[in-house]
Structure 1
Amino acid sequence: MREGRFRVGAAQAHPYRYYYGAITILPGLEIDGRISEIIGVPAPGLPDYGNYKDKAVDLKWQFLPEGKWRPAVALGLMDPHGTRLYASQYIVASKQIYPFDFTIGFGNGRYGSAPLPVAGEQFKMEMITDSSSWARDGHFFGGVQFEVSDGLMLIAEYSPIEYEKMTADPAQSRYFQGPAASRLNWGIRLRPWDWLEFDLTWQRGDQVGFNVSVAFDLGNPMVPIYEPPYREKPDLRASSMEKRIARALYESGFSHIGIQRDGDHLRIEAANNRYFYNMKALGVALRVVHGIVAQTGRGEFRRISLTVTQNGVPVLEARTAAEDLDAFFGERFNVSEFLYLSEIRTDVWKTPDVRKEYWRYFDYVLKPDFKVFLNDPSGFVNYKLGVAANVLFTPWQGSTFAAGLLGYPVNTVSSSNVPSSTPVRTDIVPYQQQKLAMGLLLFNQIRKFEGGLYGRVAAGYLEEQYAGLDWEAAKPVRDGRFLVGLSGSVLKKREPGSVFGLKENDWKDRYLTGFFNVRLNVPEAELTVDLKSGQFLAGDRGTMVTVSRNFNGVVLSAWYGISGTAMFPDSYNAGYHNKGIAISIPLRMFTGRESRTSYGTAIAPWTRDVAQDITHFDNLFDFIGRNVDVYTEKDKRMIQ
């Protein structure tokens, strides 16, 4: 698949049923996640769980792209972690000679003569660590696809899988006492549209199979995003220039607007409430300001400074000559020429000391909220569907008083797991079972200081399980290639089922966290890598690594945490490493209009206590975001 392509689907060939998703997160690097269900084989000792199910993550790296004469070559790792029921490591080559597409590969494990051993919390790659056994145990596989026409293909493949030898597979003892009737599989593939694919197959010589999948490009809006240009109402033209600029900016999606004349220098401040990217907001604001100044103040000003703020905190500033701005929007300068003559800064920390117009004191956020919890003994899938509503009050720069309500009319959450004797998240089930709860009630303050230092403090009911004090400091270094910071919390657990109550007789009277944080920004690949090292909620110490990839606002993240687990007396937490994946999707992808709102969800083990932290109302690294020099150099082209 091409970079940024995402596919989800389901397949079945008795006794196996698969649910899967795949994404090409970087050029040539594909990551797959799948759930394998074995029909008719119950999970041992779990009567309410249903059929046996296995989770796995696969990776495929095409390190050699296809050329005119040479094939594409890729390495694959199937299920390198955990139980490794269906693990394999393979190398595969493919070549298209239209209308044929040929594939041949070699792999061990599932494709070889014997299953691979359990890896537990390790990641195993015998292909590298024991290449001789990989070569000795492996088998060849291959296939050919014939494209009859656009949207219709015929498929034939050779499968080396020796089902009767895969003794780690729970299906083997019931369904595969002997070899498969055939190692040849046949199929027909229909692709009526670029985003839909359906396969009908004949497998193992005795089974009908099917596969259906949908695919799309992450970051591509479903509706093209269009913001109509500002059109001033005729009755406003009699107002002062300051009033006209303030009104124009307000109607264009800004608030907290301050305007100051300083001789021949016009200074403007405006908070971005609408645009997903602050650089886009800066471009819109410059165009709006130019449209008014060109009518009323041409020749009166030589310099114009425009500062974009978030919640009143300055993050970006453009400084330009008035004549250059006029030349740019008059199409006498192109973007490169205008940017060469202008200055865009991220180290701005003060704003004009003038009265603000259109101060936005109150705001609200209303989001659908869908949470999925997987692999609990009480049932493989638990979920809840509802609404998260927050009311926000901003009395001064950088401040937020927030009250949040969580409502889940559809809630199937349950668990037969008993919380550990040192719980920080294993006792979360009573909180998650509430159909109506106060999600948060807090005060949050962010401030930016000279030199690019940011500070944040929050106090109150910080999330649905914890209340207390949360603080953070952060600073960009090396033009924002790195963000470094410190953070910590002093917390007490909330009483489930009580609006304001705090838990008494908890195993800890208070919970203390403290971290040293680092983020590496790689704008060239739209990639960030976060490291959080220190003490987690339970007192375990270690490091959490989070890797995130941005596709035009759609952010995919995966994290992996390692901490000392000797303090946990139970085997459920001992030796465990925290891990999970998350996705954040901007509202603008669906509406065709600009919006700063995003919807997020995550999939992670939800009843573990290792390497856990609270949910933060604001995170300074995310608040700083792209407002650093290494990103502004890339984002400047949004100014149009």
Structure 2
Amino acid sequence: MRRTALHGYCRAALALLAGSAGLAHAQETYTQSDFGGVGLLQTPTARMAREGEFSFVLSRTTPYTNYNVSMQPLPWLEGSFRYTNVSNRLYGPRSLSGSQTYKDKSIDAKVRLWEESRWLPAVAVGARDIGGTGLFSSEYVVTSKRAGPFDFSLGLAWGYMGARGDIANPLNVISDRFETRPTGGTGTGKFSTNKFLRGRPGFFGGVEYRSPWDWLLLKAELDGNDYKHQPQKNNQPERWPVNLGAVFRINRNVDLTVGYERGKVVTAGLNLHSNLATHVDPPKSFDPKPEPVAVETRQAGTPPPERKTPEQVDWPAVAKELHDNAGIDVSRIGRRGSELVVHGEQQRFFYPAEGVGRATRIIDNRVDESIGWLTIASERNGMPMVETSVHRPRFIELLDNRLDLADFRRSVEQDPVTPRDEEVLYRAPLKRFTGGVSLGYQQNLGGPDAFVLYQVYGAASGRFNVSRNLWLDGVLTVNVANNYDKFKYDAPSNLSRVRTNLRQYLTGSDVTMPNFQLTGTRRLGQDLYGLAYAGMLESMYAGAGGEVLYRPFGERWAVGADINWVKQRGFDQDFSLRKYHVITGQATGYLDTGFHDVTVAVSVGRYLAGDWGTTIDVSREFHNGARMGAYATVTNKSGSAGYGEGSFDKGIYVSIPFDMLLPHSSRSRATLLWQPLIRDGGARLNKRYTLYTLTNDLDSDLFDKNLEKIRD
């Protein structure tokens, strides 16, 4: 089964695409093609969107409807994932899928080799439909050069885009194997490298005209495809190989394309897009206002606050204000000479600098001049993370505009937490129980039962704290609406069914308990952290396990390992268990490369089906915390008959902080994951907590890149 999972609030992710919040700068005028990715209509150009661009394109060119997701994680790299609905072909036998039409999935990539200069054009190479059936597979090289309002492109393509075969393959001089292109695809999700650059190529190109009006662009292209010899013998009429189109920019987030292609068909496309790197957060109208400090109250003509010695301050009241206004769940407050230390966990503000700034305001309003420094000793689930110290007088100078941000940064220190003598002024009682309710949404795309299988559910979560390092928590869900009555197909598998019995778990009960576990954390030593857990660990597995992570403060790397004994849960997701059990776990290395904020994580170990292998995850995080990434898992069962269609596990994802979307601050995230196929090979345990995530406060980049929020 092909799957797309949407975790978190679906409405927030849709708000991002629909443009509920603006961008910091005007969008580039480079627009998406019918196939997704920057281009003309049917063909790409050498142009790239601005880094951080995220687009959803829906286009219709009879008999094909394309659903495209395109991402621009780097200035020179574009990636796309696509489903194509072929409206005049059936998915399969009617006994399997009824009257559902054929769906094809594709992965595309484009790399810019160099940018345009005064004399030279921009040049890019790329490939479409890299794996799978290969119906639309194509490789190409394309150039683009601008002349005033005109942007000209010319390219040479092999495969689908160059099927007209204008010239003999120039690579024939290397080997005669380039002369003929194999027909068909791998059909298993493998990368179809046996086709690359083979067969007779065809020319394509065109021009885009930027009109005097910002809302209108015009396009004309020479299409290199041969529509009279289409895949699946789905031949289409063609009067001439020229396509014409216009793009209407409805607003900065919505483009509408209309065209006339092949001299035969009218086409249309809708592009919803946003830039994750430059996205401007909506006003936080639901957040409390930060406390004004003395310089601000004087400017407003109100009396300054009354300050007291640390011994006279009502610290329980201060702890409450730190929670309500600065988002810090205080565990204790102490003093080290002229330094006041607030220990606690940030629970509201995504950007650490914002919580630190609000806390400094609160302390400055209550404590006399005997305190010169304020330190926020951040914790996460009872584990000390990092100490952020602010020089109080310099902070006031910053708020009074007597100091710029760059100079102020030299008055802020971030250090690892080390044991030090401290006079305890206040120790907060442990809050035993927390909980809440929410709505959730999940969906599966592209299966034979229906293109979209969805569920809307209500969720209640609760947590009981035994101590700050030990807690019991869980989630209970209730079905609100779904179309799972159509869900009947189980994917074939020759491995242990560790994931392909997804249908039974989703349709087993209207009331489920996806998670119920006891979790403990501990700081095992300087830069060394531990995690242990037991219970119903995820919707399909129960068991026990542990994890350790070594993450040196101030470094860009970390190493960790986990090991778990798990047993398969009953399909109703209650306390019942099935017979299958396995020991699984991986050792993982993490590296922030320092190159465009790209992080690489490599895991090696044993997976749920008992197979052994490696997972590589590559992601780009932007300064505001938004992340784009992709992963692939290859095991000793990959590529074999036992694995089945898909050959190996892979997926692409976007992770968006809710803080970018909502009118109130939040530390939660929405993660959109596109996993083309669910198979049993390379399957990992979906743990609720991981140490790398729990220790994210050790990454100072988010603090430094958003230091301006310390004023908020």
Residue 549 of structure 1 corresponds to which residue in structure 2?
A: 620
| 1:411 aligned onto 2:461 | no
Deviations 1:454-506 (CA, angstroms, capped at 9, x unpaired): 10011111111111102110011483311101101111111112621112xx3
For structure 1, which segment, 346-355 or 429-438, has the greater mean C-alpha deviation from structure 2 after superposition? 346-355
Residue 200 of structure 1 corresponds to which residue in structure 2?
A: 258
Letter in 1 for 2:490: N
CA gap of 1:85–1:355, structure 2 versus 1, over 3 A, is same
Residue 20 of structure 2 corresponds to which residue in structure 1?
A: none
Aligned with 1:292: secondary structure? Answer: coil
CA gap of 1:572–1:356, structure 2 versus 1, over 3 A, is same
Residue 246 of structure 1 corresponds to which residue in structure 2?
A: 319
CA gap of 1:399–1:599, structure 2 versus 1, over 3 A, is farther
Task: Map 1:272-287; keep pairs closer than 5 Å.
Answer: 272-287=346-361
Task: Map 1:313-392; keep pairs closer than 5 Å.
Answer: 313-319=383-389, 323-324=393-394, 328=398, 331-348=401-418, 355-357=426-428, 359-392=430-463
Aligned with 1:410: secondary structure? Answer: strand
Of 199, 208, 218, 1:145 maps to 208
Shift of 1:523: 5.3
Residue 562 of structure 1 corresponds to which residue in structure 2?
A: 634
For structure 1, which segment, 467-476 or 383-392, has the greater mean C-alpha deviation from structure 2 after superposition? 383-392
Does the CA contact (< 8 Å) of 2:229 and 2:235 recur in 1? no
Residue 62 of structure 2 corresponds to which residue in structure 1?
A: 14
Letter in 1 for 2:529: Y
Shift of 1:612: 0.8
Deviations 1:22-53 (CA, angstroms, capped at 9, x unpaired): 12111121111111111111123243361111
Does the CA contact (< 8 Å) of 2:416 and 2:553 recur in 1? no
Shift of 1:302: 4.9
Aligned mates of 1:101, 1:68 — CA distance in 2: 14
Letter in 1 for 2:275: D
Aligned with 1:376: secondary structure? Answer: coil
For structure 1, which segment, 27-36 or 332-341, has the greater mean C-alpha deviation from structure 2 after superposition? 332-341
CA gap of 1:60–1:607, structure 2 versus 1, over 3 A, is closer
Deviations 1:540-590 (CA, angstroms, capped at 9, x unpaired): 00011112222423333321100011898x645388211122333322223
Shift of 1:447: 1.7
Task: Map 1:460-479; keep pairs closer than 5 Å.
Answer: 460-477=535-552, 479=554
Letter in 2 for 1:455: G
Letter in 2 for 1:267: V
Shift of 1:522: 3.8
CA gap of 1:351–1:585, structure 2 versus 1, over 3 A, is farther
Task: Map 1:600-639; keep pairs closer than 5 Å.
Answer: 600-605=671-676, 607-628=678-699, 634=705, 638-639=709-710
Does the CA contact (< 8 Å) of 2:91 and 2:448 recur in 1? no
Residue 609 of structure 2 corresponds to which residue in structure 1?
A: 538
Does the CA contact (< 8 Å) of 1:6 and 1:23 recur in 2? yes
Does the CA contact (< 8 Å) of 1:109 and 1:116 recur in 2? no
CA gap of 1:498–1:195, structure 2 versus 1, over 3 A, is closer
Aligned mates of 1:429, 1:350 — CA distance in 2: 54
Aligned mates of 1:2, 1:105 — CA distance in 2: 22
CA gap of 1:97–1:289, structure 2 versus 1, over 3 A, is same
Does the CA contact (< 8 Å) of 1:286 and 1:306 recur in 2? no
Aligned mates of 1:325, 1:111 — CA distance in 2: 60
Shift of 1:203: 1.2
For structure 1, which segment, 385-394 or 618-627, has the greater mean C-alpha deviation from structure 2 after superposition? 385-394
Aligned with 2:322: secondary structure? Answer: helix
Task: Map 1:96-115; keep pairs closer than 5 Å.
Answer: 96-112=146-162, 113=165
Shift of 1:287: 3.2
Does the CA contact (< 8 Å) of 2:315 and 2:425 recur in 1? no
Residue 501 of structure 1 corresponds to which residue in structure 2?
A: 576
Aligned with 2:525: secondary structure? Answer: coil
Aligned mates of 1:94, 1:498 — CA distance in 2: 55
CA gap of 1:234–1:607, structure 2 versus 1, over 3 A, is same
Letter in 2 for 1:92: V
Residue 503 of structure 2 corresponds to which residue in structure 1?
A: 429
Supply the RMSD in Å over aligned alpha carbons: 3.0
Aligned mates of 1:521, 1:477 — CA distance in 2: 13
Residue 33 of structure 1 corresponds to which residue in structure 2?
A: 81
Residue 223 of structure 1 corresponds to which residue in structure 2?
A: 282
Aligned mates of 1:611, 1:480 — CA distance in 2: 30
Residue 382 of structure 2 corresponds to which residue in structure 1?
A: 312
**Bigger relative CO (Cα 8 Å, ≥ 6 apart):** 2
| 1:213 aligned onto 2:234 | no
Of 319, 322, 329, 1:255 maps to 329
Of 190, 213, 219, 1:155 maps to 219
Aligned with 1:394: secondary structure? Answer: strand
Letter in 2 for 1:218: L
Residue 289 of structure 1 corresponds to which residue in structure 2?
A: 363
Aligned mates of 1:428, 1:497 — CA distance in 2: 12
Gaps of 5+ in 1: none
CA gap of 1:629–1:106, structure 2 versus 1, over 3 A, is same
Does the CA contact (< 8 Å) of 2:460 and 2:476 recur in 1? yes
Letter in 2 for 1:156: A
> What's the TM-score, normalizing by structure 2?
0.80
Letter in 2 for 1:249: L
For structure 1, which segment, 144-153 or 481-490, has the greater mean C-alpha deviation from structure 2 after superposition? 144-153
Aligned mates of 2:517, 2:306 — CA distance in 1: 40
Letter in 2 for 1:468: G
Identity of aligned residues (%): 26
Aligned with 2:145: secondary structure? Answer: strand
CA gap of 1:360–1:586, structure 2 versus 1, over 3 A, is farther
Letter in 1 for 2:77: L
Aligned mates of 1:630, 1:202 — CA distance in 2: 48
Aligned with 1:379: secondary structure? Answer: coil
- Residue-pair matches, total: 620
Aligned mates of 1:188, 1:271 — CA distance in 2: 52
Aligned mates of 2:445, 2:190 — CA distance in 1: 21
CA gap of 1:592–1:554, structure 2 versus 1, over 3 A, is same
Aligned mates of 1:511, 1:144 — CA distance in 2: 58
Does the CA contact (< 8 Å) of 1:370 and 1:601 recur in 2? no
CA gap of 1:245–1:95, structure 2 versus 1, over 3 A, is same
Aligned mates of 1:107, 1:248 — CA distance in 2: 64
Does the CA contact (< 8 Å) of 1:513 and 1:539 recur in 2? yes
Residue 102 of structure 2 corresponds to which residue in structure 1?
A: 52
CA gap of 1:39–1:305, structure 2 versus 1, over 3 A, is closer
